[in-house]
C-alpha cells in the first residue's frame, strides 16, 4: 500500500496507542511506590533469613563430625539346619 492510501488510517492506529500511553503513565505513578515497597520488604526478609542462617551456622559449627563411620559388617550367625 502506498503512503497516500495509509494516511486516512493513521489516526485510527495512533489513537489507541495514545490512550494506552496515558493509561500507562497514570498507572505508573501508582505502581512505582508499590514496587518499591515490595522490594524493600523482600530485602528486609532476605536480610533476616541471612542473619538466621549465620546464627545457625555459628551454633552448629564443629558439632557435626563429617567423617564417614567405619564400615563394620558382621555376617549373620549361621542357623542350624531344620529338623526333618
Q: Examine residue 16 and state whether it is found in any structural domain, yes or no.
A: no
Measured at the CA of 34, the angle between CA 31 and CA 35, to 5 degrees, comes to: 85
* Residue 3 predicted with pLDDT over 70: no
Residues 15-46 have pLDDT tens digits of: 666 777 777 787 888 888 889 999 999 999 99
Q: Examine residue 41 and state whether it is found in any structural domain, yes or no.
A: yes
Could you give the number of structural domains in the chain? 1
pLDDT the model gives residue 41: 94
Q: Exposed e or buried b for every residue in 69-83, given b needs 16+ CB within 10 A? A: eeeeeeeeeeeeeee
Residues 38-82 have pLDDT tens digits of: 999 999 999 999 999 999 888 888 766 566 667 777 777 777 666
pLDDT the model gives residue 84: 56
> What is the value of pTM for the model shown?
0.44
Q: Examine residue 37 and state whether it is found in any structural domain, yes or no.
A: yes
pLDDT the model gives residue 45: 96
Q: Examine residue 79 and state whether it is found in any structural domain, yes or no.
A: no
Q: Examine residue 1 and state whether it is found in any structural domain, yes or no.
A: no
How far, CA to CA in Å, does 65 sit from each of 26, 60, 61, 68, 81?
Answer: 60, 11, 10, 8, 44
- Owning domain of residue 51: 28-59
Amino acid at each position: 500500500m502506498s503512503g497516500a492510501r495509509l494516511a486516512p488510517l493513521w489516526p485510527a492506529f495512533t489513537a489507541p496507542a495514545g490512550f494506552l500511553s496515558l493509561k500507562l503513565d497514570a498507572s505508573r505513578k501508582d505502581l512505582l511506590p508499590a514496587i518499591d515497597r515490595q522490594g524493600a520488604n523482600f530485602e528486609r526478609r532476605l536480610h533476616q533469613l541471612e542473619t538466621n542462617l549465620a546464627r545457625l551456622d555459628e551454633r552448629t559449627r564443629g558439632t557435626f563430625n563429617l567423617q564417614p563411620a567405619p564400615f563394620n559388617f558382621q555376617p549373620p550367625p549361621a542357623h542350624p539346619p531344620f529338623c526333618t
